[in-house]
Structure 1
Amino acid sequence: MATTSSSSGDNEASKIKKQCLGWIEWFRGWFCLIYEMLFQRIMASHLHNPMPLPPINDLTCIVTGSTSGIGLEIARQLAQAGAHVVMAVRNTKAAQELIQKWSVDSAGLGIALNVEVMGVDLLSLDSVARFAEAWNARSAPLHVLINNAGIFSIGEPQKFSKDGYEEHLQVNHLAPALLSVLLLPSLIRGSPSRIVNVNSIMHHVGFVDAEDMNITSGKRKFSSLMGYSNSKLAQVMFSSVLNKRLPAESGINVLCVSPGIVQTNVARDLPKIVQSTYRLVPYFIFNAQEGSRSTLFAATDPQISEYCELLKADEWPVCAFISQECRPANPSEEAHNIQTAYEVWEKTLEMTGLPSDALEKLLEGENVKCRYGHEQQ
């Protein structure tokens, strides 16, 4: 009788859905964040600045959010190393001005840049889908997709895109996820290819409820910190499932990277007291060039593919995660929650207007109808 009662209690407990991070997980997450800020420069002291790149003249790379901060450095260094770089940005005029400047700087070095600009607004899923349609229509290979663009509106109230999604969630997770899936035909043509998601150590303090990804149910009080960290955790979870579901023969690897704690334009949105702290501790915080190194490493290092394939063969529950010191790292404990990861996968497909079998159809060379894109023009 006691055994039956105990078994029944265990079953009931298993049905209780986790509502938030446990205090031990929460403490561990903040410890990781503080530790990285204080010691990231020491841990990355073995890296050169700028990051030396291997020959990449045959690579075509799309870089989102490449008019400022880390994205600007990523695009510039890839272009100067010989890659064909597509700057996927909202402000196309600023991108064109950057290209002109880079061209002048590179002319003296005898380097001819191959850079172009394509417009995309991650706060509009229509815009994201149209961007993918335009690129796929070229029937050209894509070797590296770098989902760099992101927002962190610290201290701001909850805001929603015109698509109805919380802005951190859309820009940091939904839009990159949609772009990654829709560009699979071009990534297959460019195989071996990579999807590199610029993530954050702050995903360690995130918690995702797949039934309340928009944080509108009232069960949790929204804060910008919650919006940002949750969106970054959702990105890791989605990336893990995508990488797991891509067959080895596709030649596509998916990984996330942490750039470290970086002084970028996000500081413009910080409270004045936090901005003052940024100025007082420049030794601890990376500049944009230093922050770009892990992404450049993940995008170009020849051994990355072998590492990703090894993790997939071992059925490791999460995708490859590269730290700011350009070494393999382990994402948060919550990122290893396989059940939640698959729930995030399914909910993300639903929110981005993709059918549940979109991945399988695209891998088979079939067309996939998305709720967003050309039909909305």
Structure 2
Amino acid sequence: MASSSASDQAKQGLSWMEWLQGWSNVIYEIFFQRIEARHLKSPLPLPPLNDLCCIVTGATSGIGLEIARQLAESGANVVMAVRNPTAAHSLIQTWQNQTSRKDSLKIDVMELNLLSLESVVRFSETWNSLGKPLNVLINNAGIFSIGEPQKFSNDGYETHMQVNHLAPALLSLLLLPSLKRGAPSRIINVNSVMHFVSTVDPNDMNFVSGKRKFSSLEGYSSSKLAQVMFSNVLHKRLPTESGISIICVGPGCAQTNVARDLPKIVQVGYRLIPLILFNAEEASRSALFAATDPEIPKYCAQLRWDEWPACAYISYSCRPVNPSNESLRMDVSSLVWEKTLDMIGLSGDCLDMLLEGKEIQCRYLCFFTNPCTPKFLCTCAPVNFQLFDHGSAGTANIRFWMTT
């Protein structure tokens, strides 16, 4: 009955007052972010990160590129989870030639396509099978196809919702055993101020019922709100003893490849306002802060003890802020959690089972075994992962994974 009531209360849109407040947040961020973040250096100074293991999605361009590069230059073991491994390899060679470090950068490349939930499962299977602890997962990859018609992935989901929310949610859950091994560990979701100007209908997250008119703006902002809502529930349900913190970050309004699908004439205007927008290095600071600041786990724990209904949200100025009021609706957030699990093919008890290393069932995999010897068996044809060495002497730590 409670779920039905909450479902009935799901909004088809914001009230005019909520809409005005949401867009006020967006406009304020665009024009005042540089003032708000004037105390930050660029690049953000990082402490030595030796032995810290980090996975960064979408690491071949924009914010993800800067996150991966700066983490690696600070000594972290970085895994670039990308659609284009060849591009990642080229970047690594460039970074190796430019680095001031005496030793080589420690970077791995693994193929990951968020438009395929099967790819997410395979990636997770491969990483978990290594038996390594994971300290930081940064879900950075995202799309914003402004002005484009509605598109669906091969999995049948609206592309913004899949890339920006569903696939990162599946990745985060399936990597929980590795994150537990690496505790204290962190899941960092790169979000957007655009989540302030949308709602999520748990019964129509795919925008197919006709109740809401789809636009690329609505698809993007709704996916980012769904990400915050899912993160809030995950934050509440993860046991304290797991040692895993959940953080959403706002990178600010930045000039990155997220605008690659903009109409050409809009892209011209987009590039004429660099004095207002952040560059990728500046926009990476909130995620880097969330990944490395020693006080973050304490702050996340405090939110849990205070029974605050949201996970930590760090702004572009590297300060804690509140997400939108809509994201704090725990009744709707719980429905978004349940619907997300259904869409990615996981059961309602998957969280506890994954943390305990028990077998889980999903339409994208057969089972998951004990985290000491993790393994996914996909219902699709088996995949072989081959390991290649790249580069010359001094780059033995660079490895390249690709499917064959």
Normalising by structure 2, what TM-score? 0.88
Provide the residue aligned with 1:227 in structure 2: 219
**Aligned counterpart for 2:301 among listed residues 306, 309, 315:** 309
1:31 paired with 2:24, answer yes
**Aligned counterpart for 2:78 among listed residues 69, 73, 85:** 85
Is the alpha carbon distance of 1:109 and 1:359 closer, same or farther for their aligned partners in structure 2, counting shifts above 3 Å? Answer: closer
Residue type at the aligned position of 2:158: E
Contact kept in structure 2, 1:169 and 1:227, CA below 8 Å: yes
Provide the residue aligned with 1:4 in structure 2: none
1:61 paired with 2:54, answer yes
Is the alpha carbon distance of 1:260 and 1:14 closer, same or farther for their aligned partners in structure 2, counting shifts above 3 Å? Answer: closer
Whole-angstrom CA distance in 2 between matches of 1:331 and 1:244: 15
1:291 paired with 2:283, answer yes
Q: CA deviation at 1:370?
A: 2.2
Contact kept in structure 1, 2:115 and 2:163, CA below 8 Å: yes
Is the alpha carbon distance of 1:19 and 1:137 closer, same or farther for their aligned partners in structure 2, counting shifts above 3 Å? Answer: same
Provide the residue aligned with 2:310 in structure 1: 318
Q: Following superposition of structure 1 onto structure 2, how do residues 187-336 of structure 1 map, counting pairs within 5 Å?
A: 187-336=179-328
Query: 2:203 is paired with a residue of what secondary structure?
Result: helix
Query: 1:210 is paired with a residue of what secondary structure?
Result: coil
Q: CA deviation at 1:360?
A: 1.0
Is the alpha carbon distance of 1:129 and 1:36 closer, same or farther for their aligned partners in structure 2, counting shifts above 3 Å? Answer: same
Provide the residue aligned with 2:127 in structure 1: 135
Residue type at the aligned position of 1:204: F
Is the alpha carbon distance of 1:126 and 1:41 closer, same or farther for their aligned partners in structure 2, counting shifts above 3 Å? Answer: same
Query: 2:156 is paired with a residue of what secondary structure?
Result: coil
Residue type at the aligned position of 1:129: V
Whole-angstrom CA distance in 2 between matches of 1:376 and 1:287: 41
Contact kept in structure 1, 2:10 and 2:200, CA below 8 Å: no
**Aligned counterpart for 1:376 among listed residues 368, 380, 384:** 380
Once the two structures are superposed, residues 166-203 of structure 1 have per-residue CA deviations (whole angstroms, 9 ceiling, x without a partner) of 00000000000000000000000000000000000000
1:357 paired with 2:361, answer no
Once the two structures are superposed, residues 257-306 of structure 1 have per-residue CA deviations (whole angstroms, 9 ceiling, x without a partner) of 00000001122222334323322221110000000000000001000000
Q: CA deviation at 1:58?
A: 1.8
Contact kept in structure 2, 1:80 and 1:111, CA below 8 Å: no
Provide the residue aligned with 1:101 in structure 2: 94
Greater fraction of residues in helix: 1
Normalising by structure 1, what TM-score? 0.94
Task: Could you tell me which runs of 5 or more consecutive residues in structure 2 were left unpaired when the two chains were aligned.
Answer: 366-377, 382-404
Provide the residue aligned with 1:337 in structure 2: 329
**Aligned counterpart for 1:183 among listed residues 161, 165, 175:** 175
Identity %: 65
Query: 1:145 is paired with a residue of what secondary structure?
Result: strand
Task: Could you tell me which runs of 5 or more consecutive residues in structure 1 were left unpaired when the two chains were aligned.
Answer: 1-11
Query: 1:165 is paired with a residue of what secondary structure?
Result: coil
RMSD: 1.4
Contact kept in structure 2, 1:143 and 1:192, CA below 8 Å: yes
Contact kept in structure 1, 2:6 and 2:332, CA below 8 Å: no
Q: CA deviation at 1:109?
A: 3.9
Residue type at the aligned position of 1:203: H
Once the two structures are superposed, residues 104-128 of structure 1 have per-residue CA deviations (whole angstroms, 9 ceiling, x without a partner) of 111x542421001000100000000
Q: Which moved more, 1:275-284 or 1:309-318?
A: 275-284
Residue type at the aligned position of 2:284: S
Whole-angstrom CA distance in 2 between matches of 1:16 and 1:340: 8
